[in-house]
Amino acid sequence: MLVAMKRVAGAAAGLAAIGASAGVANAEEANSISGAIEGGELIFELRPRVEHVDQTGTGDADAFTNRTRLGWKTGSFHGVSGLIEFEDVRNLGGDDYNDGVPPAEPFATIGDPESTELNRLQLAWRANAHFTATLGRQNVQFDDQRFIDPSNSRQDSRTYDALRADVTFSSLKGSYVYIDHVNNTAAEFTDLDTETHLLNVTNKFSNAFSLTGFVYALDFTTPSAINQSSEFIGVRASGEIEGFDTKFKYALSYANQQDYGSSTVDFDLDYGLASLTATHGPFSGRLQYETLEGDGVRGLFFPLGSSTNFHGWANAFGAKPANGLNDFNASVTWSPDWEAPLFSDLSFTVRWYEFESERTGADLGEELDFEIAGELTDNLSLQLRSGDYRGGDAGSPAERRRIWLSLEYKL
């Protein structure tokens, strides 16, 4: 793994040189379709990454992969713009990891199989300041990405074949999305056909208080995912206030998940989250509590939601326990106002988790996460991240430690 890390670090100089010489045109209103295309901007991204997983009960996994994105975003002509983007994931060395595509390998899972695909292809029409429509394969995410997420933590991200309408009037913003296909992670193996409806409406009353209501009705027709069909109905309050030279941010969420559409099983489960973040100078601290109800047969789950950003970077709880999950976590981030050699915008984060069963109260272990992130150039960033999960009572997930080092270049 150390050799691969050196390769990633060594790639920084070459990517930085690209950033120094590359230029991007500004997309603007054009006089013709050809003018809109020619006046667009290039999409070019590289993300080489080394990842290691040490997990009880299975072989250690090591992956050295790279994600390349290449595309073009046009300018606007009569309010219409287009975008096309291809995504390629390559294994740059080593086969000792389970990439998530059958047949399973005798190693821990690092879900980054090789693939080449059309990641986005969309047309957007901005009719006026109040209405925008987007048709095609696109990114979709809402709020804290808990329920609807692009899953960008994996090399093969998640996009959606969808029709989207966004309406804005003063402090009120509403979005409706119809999805008929999920271009999922793990190449084409986990893609899903669906008839999904998403509705998210937010009113910002002030900086201190925004209220969001949402209905996410997910109906999957792919046979392997039929019983993931479910409906979320929920509400979220969030805001920001300042006092004592400190900025406070809070979020409160509640949702109910029930079986929906093609599902052949019945369930009725509740979700709750409370989060408070305080930022003072270069320091930021967060306390967060999240609860996922379980009925003993299945626990609340997120077919299209984030996993890496919740419940720890070790990803011990990718599969949600049947008895539900309570998660209390606390984190501290330090973003010093100084620049180290080769680095700027450095940040250091430490986060601790404690897990228990929502239904039985059983101890499900704890996790300690750590991250260093910074900018090497305006276009090139580096991230070192680790998650160390240790189990509790019987029924806890397998203990594991996950660490990755990645570079990300964006033109």
Residue 24 pLDDT: 37
pLDDT of 279 over the 70 cut: yes
- Quick check: 243 and 220 in contact, CB under 8 A? no
Task: Indicate the DSSP class of residue 29.
Answer: B
pLDDT of 334 over the 90 cut: yes
Residue 104 pLDDT: 84
Q: Cα separation of 195 and 263, whole Å?
A: 13
Task: Give me the residue label for tokens 């305006």.
Answer: 378
Q: Cα separation of 204 and 209, whole Å?
A: 6
Identity of the amino acid at 58:
T
Q: What is the DSSP string of 21-90?
A: H---PPP-B-SSHHHHHHT-EEEEEEEEEEEEEEETTSB-EEEEEEEEEEEEE--BBTTEEEEEEEEEEE
Residue 16 pLDDT: 39
Residue 163, helix vs strand vs coil: strand
Q: 151-169 pLDDT, tens per residue? A: 888 999 999 999 999 999 9
Q: Which fold has domain 115-410?
A: Porin (2.40.160)
Residue 101, helix vs strand vs coil: coil
| Mean local confidence (pLDDT), 113-130 | 96
pLDDT of 121 over the 50 cut: yes
Residue 19 pLDDT: 41
| Mean local confidence (pLDDT), 127-138 | 97
Residue 370 pLDDT: 98
All structural domains of the chain with their residue ranges: 115-410
Residue 1 pLDDT: 43
Q: Cα separation of 51 and 386, whole Å?
A: 10
312 to each of 114, 237, 307, 329, how far by Cα in Å?
Answer: 25, 24, 8, 9
Query: pTM here?
Result: 0.91
Q: Establish how many alpha carbons lie within 13 A of residue 194's alpha carbon, considering only the half-sphere containing its beta carbon.
A: 32
Identity of the amino acid at 24:
V
pLDDT of 22 over the 90 cut: no
Output 110 or 307, whichever has higher pLDDT. 110
pLDDT band per the 50, 70, 90 thresholds, residue 8: very low
| Mean local confidence (pLDDT), 78-99 | 93
pLDDT of 247 over the 70 cut: yes
Residue 28 pLDDT: 59
| Mean local confidence (pLDDT), 224-228 | 96
For 386, counting Cβ atoms within 10 Å of its Cβ (0-12 exposed, 13-18 middle, 19+ buried), the class is middle
Output 21 or 280, whichever has higher pLDDT. 280
Instruction: For the chain, give the longest Cα–Cα distance.
Output: 67
Residue 152 pLDDT: 87
Q: Provide the mean pLDDT of the chain.
A: 92
